[in-house]
């Protein structure tokens, strides 16, 4: 997921760079007939616009249905309270089994924090904000066993980077 | 200039000195804050330098607030300079805005360096009041008060700009070209894109700063009377609305440099048309509606806002890609343009803006945001817009005004250095983001540190490029006769 996001972005940016490169390389010699250039330009622009709109509709439909933040349909997930405070996490439980639907009920006692679960490969699995006065439910079903970590992803003061907790995920018996 | 233009324009001799002050101060501050940025990246790399976390977060607050504020003021100078060709603006008010801003800057810098305030430029409530001993209430009040004063300074000059626009065009809506867009008036090809952009900036940024003022005052009240604690989610909405609108208004002000100067170089006109006006109306509305994409990870927000955030995020990229970047390229294609520091900076700025939209829009998708939010992906995309977009617009403007474009080959080398360093820096952020490296971390894990070092070196390259561009400008600036037309014509 993470790397494909990077690759798609680089591809898009590379395309834009190529178009700019093409135009800069073809900036001369001067063609006095700007009317003619503009006419062809408007034609390309129209299709560029239609293409972007069409891509937008497709991507939006594909990525928004079903709504990505919907609570999981699991019957009765195991609920684990997670409370952030400057500068530590308090998890009601630190051990989970693979395949077990878990709902982290995340809040904060003081300022905004970010509750982000990092996998054993050090990549983010999922996240939500930890807000004073609110509970955000984050549904996760761990697929692989290993040591997961919770890092804080909302800047919360001088020890923000050191606000780490661990979750041990074990194979289901 | 036509006679109508001359009748309304601010006299040339009154416009130059204040704009020079803005640019001179701006360039110096940019260079200094770039050094701060490079130091932060080096600290994250942990081989060249280590910084204590409290110092890192103070520098981060300084860099963020300083860069956003300075970019805002420099873009304002671009906007003011070109708008003053069309309407009668008051240079004294413009100067007063600068002086108030300098007082604000002194308050902000003092609160950080003396008061150790370090709640980041977004001062996310209620962090300013919860320092756990790092900074005092007084320091927080001084920082927040400084931002408030900066906002007042902007509103002051906006008032002058708004009144002047209404005096000539009748209303802001008419300056934005709405009657032409909806066919109630014929398309007037002499209506300046600068006036359209200025109208858009006034509409969104007055709203943005007003909301900013509200949230700043609420933050101050909370600092003074802790019992008066507003809702944290409400404050977050207000803060991101303000921050998003302000930084966007900065870009849309600075792009006026491209609309005005690139045509002179290409010797081709950039005229208003119905699609152009439609794009600017769309942008006006979307800049105001898109901020929920900052709150996608706040599941307490209503789902329709998250959906709107994602869709409007995508949609607001379209006018830039279809109108501004494409229009600029059409102007340049087979124009026989003369490449010098100014023209290449302006084309670079369109590239940086357009390219930065891609990672931004992708991060605006809820699925992606779940794994990219608040990683270094975010500074990755916005440094594209700002470092490779807004700054080249401002630098290109300054270079054009000082006829520094004349310096030819050295100017081009400087721009190449700048662009290379800037691209590498942004890529170091984006790759970090893809590896889930968090943003705003004073201390990075070992496996992330090489990217910090790459970023620090790239930052150093950017700084060298900036100095190569800025030093000749600063040398010429005091004596430069700001010529509003004609430089490109010599090409
Ligand atoms: C040499 C050029 C630059 C370098 C090396 C640099 C470096 C950095 C670094 C290391 C960070 C902190 C990243 C993190 O979250 O860990 C940062 C944040 C930021 N930079 Fe830059 N930067 C540069 C230029 C700019 C420019 C030109 C602007 C705007 C005009 C800018 C605006 C910002 C902002 C708004 C932040 C966010 C601060 C925060 O998270 O609170 N930077 N930059
Ligand atoms: Cu934190």
Mean pLDDT of B329-348: 96
Is the per-residue pLDDT at B206 higher than 90?
Answer: yes
Strands A95-97 and A165-170, bridge-based pairing: parallel
- Does the residue B340 lie in any domain? yes
Q: Which of B118, B122, B440, B448 is the best residue to mutate to test the A interface, defined by the most A CB atoms within 10 Å of its own CB?
A: B440
Q: Which of A1, A56, A112 sits opposite B232 (nearest CB)?
A: A112
SS (H, E, C) chain B: CCHHHHHHCCCHHHHHHHHHHHHHHHHHHHHHHHHHHHHHHHHHHCCCCCCCHHHHHHHHHHHHHHHHHHHHHHHHHHHHHHHCCCCCCCHHHHHHHHHHHHHHHHHHHHHHHCCCCCCCCCCCCCHHHCCCCCCCHHHHHHHHHHHHHHHHHHHHHHHHHHHHHHHHHCCHHHHCCHHHHCCCCCCCCCCCHHHHHHHHHHHHHHHHHHHHHHHHHHHHHHHHCCCCCCCHHHHHHHHHHHHHHHHHHHHHHHCHHHHHHHHHHHCCCCCCCHHHHHHHHHHHHHHHHCHHHHCCCCCCCCHHHHHHHHHHHHHHHHHHHHHHHHHHHHHHCCCCCCCCHHHHHHHHHHHHHHHHHHHHHHHCCHHHHHHHCCECHHHHHHHHHHHHHHHHHHHHHHHHHCCHHHHCHHHHHHHHHHHHHHHHHHHHHHHHHHCCCECCCCCCCHHHHHHHHHHHHHHHHHHHHHHHHHHHHHHHCCCCCCCCCCCHHHC
Mean pLDDT on A132-145: 94
CB distance B437 to ligand 1 below 6 Å: no
Sign of the C-alpha dihedral computed for residues B470, B475, B478 and B480 taken in this order: negative
Q: Is residue B491 part of a domain?
A: no
B391 lines ligand 1 (CB under 6 A): yes
The pLDDT assigned to A72 comes to 63
Atom of ligand 1 nearest to the CA of B466: 1
What's residue A32's pLDDT? 94
Segment 93-152 of chain A within 8 Å of chain B by CB: 110-112, 114, 116, 118, 122-129, 131-138, 151
CA nearest to B255, candidates B357, B161, B175, B325: B325
Those of residues 434-453 in B touching chain A at CB distance below 8 A are 434-436, 438, 440-443, 445, 447
Rg (C-alpha) for chain B, rounded Å, is 22
Query: For position B487, what pLDDT does the model report?
Result: 41
Which of B236, B268, B322 is closest, CB to CB, to A52? B322
- Vertex B426 angle, CA B421 and B430, to 5°: 145
Give me ligand 2 centre to Cα B60, in Å: 14
Best probe of the A interface among B127, B346, B350, B383, by most A CBs < 10 A, is B127
Give the number of other Cβ atoms within 10 Å of residue B281's Cβ.
Answer: 20
What pLDDT, on a 0 to 100 scale, did the predictor assign at position A142?
94
The answer as to whether B443 is a domain residue is yes
The minimal CB distance from B436 to the residues A27, A111, A118 is found for A118
Quote the pTM value.
0.95
**Higher pLDDT, residue A153 or B484:** A153
Q: Ligand 2: distance of its center to the CA of A3 in Å?
A: 25
How is chain A split into domains, by residue range? Answer: 2-64, 78-170
pLDDT over 60 (residue B333): yes
Q: Is the CB of B34 under 6 A from ligand 1?
A: yes
CA angle centred on B286, ends B282 and B289, rounded to 5°: 150
Q: Is B454 in the pocket of ligand 1 (CB under 6 A)?
A: no
Q: Tell me what pLDDT residue B488 has.
A: 38
Q: What is the pLDDT of residue B489?
A: 37
Asked whether the CA dihedral B302, B304, B306, B308 is positive or negative, the reply is negative
Read off the pLDDT of each residue in B130-154 and give the average, rounded to a whole number.
97
8 Å CB contact of B297 and A29 = no
Average per-residue pLDDT in chain A?
94
Residue A38 to residue A54: CA distance in whole angstroms: 24
Please classify residue A54 by burial: count the beta carbons closer than 10 Å to its beta carbon, then call 0-12 exposed, 13-18 middle and 19+ buried: exposed
Asked if B309 and B364 touch (Cβ cutoff 8 Å), the reply is yes
Distances (CA, A) of B461 to A95, B49, B58, B439, B465: 47, 17, 24, 22, 6
| Range A78-170 classified under CATH 2.60.40.420 | yes
User: How confident is the model over B13-44, as pLDDT tens digits?
Assistant: 788 889 999 999 999 999 999 999 999 999 99
Q: Is the residue at B312 inside a domain?
A: yes
Ligand 1 pocket member B251 (CB < 6 A)? no
Q: What percent of chain B has pLDDT over 70?
A: 95
pLDDT in tens, B410-449: 889 999 999 999 999 999 999 999 999 999 999 999 999 9
B489 domain residue, yes or no: no
Q: Say yes or no for a CB contact (<8 Å) between B318 and A56.
A: yes
This complex has an ipTM of 0.96
Position B4 scores a pLDDT of: 65
What is the per-residue pLDDT for B490?
A: 34
For residue B121 and ligand 1, the question of a CB distance below 6 A is answered with yes
**Which ligand lies nearest the alpha carbon of A88?**
2
Query: Nearest Cα to B239, choosing from B68, B441, B60, B57?
Result: B68
Averaged pLDDT for residues A14-24: 98
Residue A108 CA to ligand 2 centre (angstroms): 11
Task: Encode pLDDT of A37-96 as tens digits.
Answer: 999 999 999 999 999 999 999 999 999 988 888 766 667 899 999 999 999 999 999 999
Q: What CATH number corresponds to the domain at position B433?
A: 1.20.210.10
Banded pLDDT at B491 (limits 50, 70, 90): very low
pLDDT tens, residue by residue, B81-115: 999 999 999 999 999 999 999 999 999 999 999 99
B18: in domain? yes
Quote the number of domains for chain B. 1
Q: Residue B486 — pLDDT band, cuts 50, 70, 90?
A: very low
How close is the Cα of B148 to the center of ligand 2, in Å? 26
B485 belongs to a structural domain:
no
Residues B394-404 have a mean pLDDT of 87
Tell me if B442 is assigned to some domain: yes
Q: Contacts of residue A138 in chain B, CB cutoff 8 Å? A: 299
Of the pLDDT bands very low, low, confident and very high (cuts 50, 70, 90), residue B402 is confident
Q: Which residues of B touch A9 (CB under 8 A)?
A: 358-359, 362, 430
Residue B390: give the domain boundaries: 3-479
Residue B462 Cβ contacting ligand 1 at under 6 Å: yes
User: Helices marked H in chain A — which ranges?
Assistant: 2-25, 34-64
């Amino acid at each position: 997921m993470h790397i494909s996001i990077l690759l798609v972005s680089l591809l898009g940016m590379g395309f834009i760079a190529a178009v700019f490169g093409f135009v800069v390389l073809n900036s001369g010699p001067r063609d006095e007939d700007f009317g003619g250039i503009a006419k062809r330009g408007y034609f390309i622009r129209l299709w560029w616009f239609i293409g972007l709109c069409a891509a937008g509709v497709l991507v939006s439909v594909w990525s928004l249905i079903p709504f990505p933040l919907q609570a999981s349909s699991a019957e009765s997930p195991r609920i684990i309270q997670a409370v952030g405070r400057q500068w530590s996490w308090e998890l009601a439980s630190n051990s989970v089994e693979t395949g077990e639907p878990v709902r982290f009920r995340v809040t904060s006692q003081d300022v905004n924090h970010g509750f982000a679960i990092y996998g054993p490969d050090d990549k983010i699995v999922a996240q939500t904000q930890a807000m004073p006065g609110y509970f955000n439910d984050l549904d996760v079903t761990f697929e692989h066993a290993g040591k997961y970590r919770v890092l804080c992803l909302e800047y919360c003061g001088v020890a923000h980077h050191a606000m780490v907790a661990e979750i041990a995920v074990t194979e289901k018996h | 200039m036509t006679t109508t233009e001359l009748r309304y324009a601010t006299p040339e001799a009154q416009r130059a000195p204040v704009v020079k002050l803005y640019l001179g101060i701006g360039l110096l501050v940019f260079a200094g804050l770039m050094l701060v940025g490079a130091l932060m990246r080096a600290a994250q790399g942990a081989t060249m330098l280590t910084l204590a976390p409290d110092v890192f977060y103070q520098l981060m607050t300084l860099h963020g607030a300083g860069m956003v504020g300075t970019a805002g003021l420099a873009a304002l100078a671009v906007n003011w300079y070109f708008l003053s060709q069309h309407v009668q603006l008051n240079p004294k008010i413009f100067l007063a805005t600068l002086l108030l801003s300098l007082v604000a800057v002194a308050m902000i810098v003092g609160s950080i360096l003396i008061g150790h305030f370090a709640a980041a430029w977004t001062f996310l409530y209620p962090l300013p009041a919860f320092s756990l001993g790092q900074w005092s209430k007084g320091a927080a009040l001084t920082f927040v008060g400084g931002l408030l004063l900066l906002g007042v300074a902007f509103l002051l000059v906006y008032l002058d700009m708004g009144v002047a626009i209404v005096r000539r065009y009748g209303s802001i809506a008419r300056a934005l070209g709405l009657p032409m867009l909806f066919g109630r008036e014929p398309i007037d090809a002499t209506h300046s894109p600068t006036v359209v952009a200025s109208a858009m900036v006034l509409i969104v940024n007055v709203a943005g700063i007003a909301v900013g003022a509200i949230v700043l005052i609420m933050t101050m009240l909370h600092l003074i009377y802790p019992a008066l604690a507003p809702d944290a989610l409400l404050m977050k909405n207000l803060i991101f609305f303000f921050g998003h609108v302000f930084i966007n208004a900065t870009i849309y002000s600075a792009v006026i440099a491209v609309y005005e100067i690139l045509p002179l170089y290409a010797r081709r006109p950039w005229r208003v048309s119905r699609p152009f006006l439609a794009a600017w109306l769309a942008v006006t509305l979307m800049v105001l509606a898109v901020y929920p994409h900052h709150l996608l990870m706040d599941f307490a927000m209503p789902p329709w806002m998250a959906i709107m955030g994602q869709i409007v995020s995508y949609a607001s990229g379209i006018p830039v890609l279809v109108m501004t970047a494409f229009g600029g390229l059409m102007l340049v294609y087979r124009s026989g343009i003369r490449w010098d520091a100014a023209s290449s900076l302006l084309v670079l700025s369109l590239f940086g803006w357009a390219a930065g939209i891609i990672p931004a829009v992708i991060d605006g998708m809820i699925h992606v945001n779940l794994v990219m939010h608040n990683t270094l992906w975010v500074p990755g995309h916005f440094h594209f817009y700002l470092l490779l977009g807004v700054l080249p617009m401002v630098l290109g403007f300054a270079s054009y005004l000082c006829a520094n474009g004349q310096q030819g080959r050295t100017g081009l080398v400087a721009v190449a250095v700048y662009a290379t360093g800037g691209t590498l820096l942004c890529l170091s952020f984006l790759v970090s983001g893809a590896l889930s490296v968090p943003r705003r971390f004073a201390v990075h894990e070992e496996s992330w540190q090489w990217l910090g070092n790459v970023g620090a070196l790239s930052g150093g390259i950017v700084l060298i490029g900036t100095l190569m561009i800025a030093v000749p400008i600063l040398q010429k600036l005091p004596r430069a006769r700001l010529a509003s037309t004609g430089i490109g014509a010599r090409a």
